[in-house]
Structure 1
Amino acid sequence: MVSVLQNVAVDCADAYGLALFWSGVTGRPLDPDSAPGDRETRVLLAEGPALYFNQVPEPKRDKNRLHLCLRPDTSRDQEVERLLALGATFLADHRDPDGTGWAVLADPEGNEFCVLRSASERAAAHP
């Protein structure tokens, strides 16, 4: 017997608003039953678990113990710029001069996530 991962839950102050941000990040739609003011909503990913946003009363206080890592279909640096334009905040730069590494960003509620190199950037580094 095994368990199947149903969703990745994110506690937040504004479930609908944060889900809209992550919908923009992933290019995937919100659950069609979602509406502004909902205390719970989901972003329906193409495959795998959904991103589930749950409104809670307490604010985020510390560094995430679990975070999402994104592999863009464009370059890592182009994706960082796109996500900053969507409302992300730049937290830490772990990009190296040789092109390896990642960038750490936060969503509008301060949840950290990483932007990795794209598959094509990784392949070009290791022909």
Structure 2
Amino acid sequence: MSRHLQVVFDAAGPAALAEFWKLALGYVSDPPPGGFASWDQALAAWGVPAENRDDANAIVDPDGAGPRVFFQKVPEAKAGKNRLHLDVSATPTRGTDAEMWPEIERLVAELVGHGATVVEERRNAFGDHWMVMTDPEGNEFCVH
């Protein structure tokens, strides 16, 4: 039996980090609960003070195939290297390095324009070629 999977990021600013990852993954904002036009409206109705409305945020795969990604506010800054990271595919299908690398470079440039940082370009003995990056809050991920 498979289990539901949700990926969770600790964040200083959940809404801003969710916006970055929406772009990186091609995701959309998690829709508000039924009967509410927005999450802000729902949170206000539930009595959540305005200053706490950026304590959490979530994005979802519009096709329903990928896991929900949840961002939760934490008081401490990121410290140390991630023990887990996301790999983001720049192309929907696997191809040769010559076919894929221009799309990888295009996505990397777009993500850098939205606050990501390039750490390094890597290759392995199997011919895989990818870019190691960090998101605006320093979480490592790879684009391949």
| TM-score, normalised via structure 2 length | 0.70
Number of aligned positions between the proteins: 113
Deviations 1:57-112 (A, max 9, x none): 1110101000000111272111111111121111122147xx74111111000000
76, 89, 108: which one aligns with 1:80? 108
Mapping 1:96-111, distance limit 5 Å: 100-111=128-139
The structure that has the greater radius of gyration is 2
Higher alpha-carbon deviation: 31-40 or 9-18:
31-40
C-alpha contact (below 8 Å) 2:88/2:143 kept by paired residues: yes
Higher alpha-carbon deviation: 104-113 or 65-74:
65-74
Aligned to 1:57: 75
Q: CA deviation at 1:6?
A: 2.6
* Structure 1 unpaired stretches of 5+: 117-127
| TM-score, normalised via structure 1 length | 0.79
Aligned CA-pair RMSD: 2.1
27, 39, 42: which one aligns with 2:58? 42
* Structure 2 unpaired stretches of 5+: 33-38, 41-49, 92-99
Equivalent pairs: percent with the same residue?
Answer: 38
SS of match in other structure, 1:24: helix
Aligned to 1:14: 13
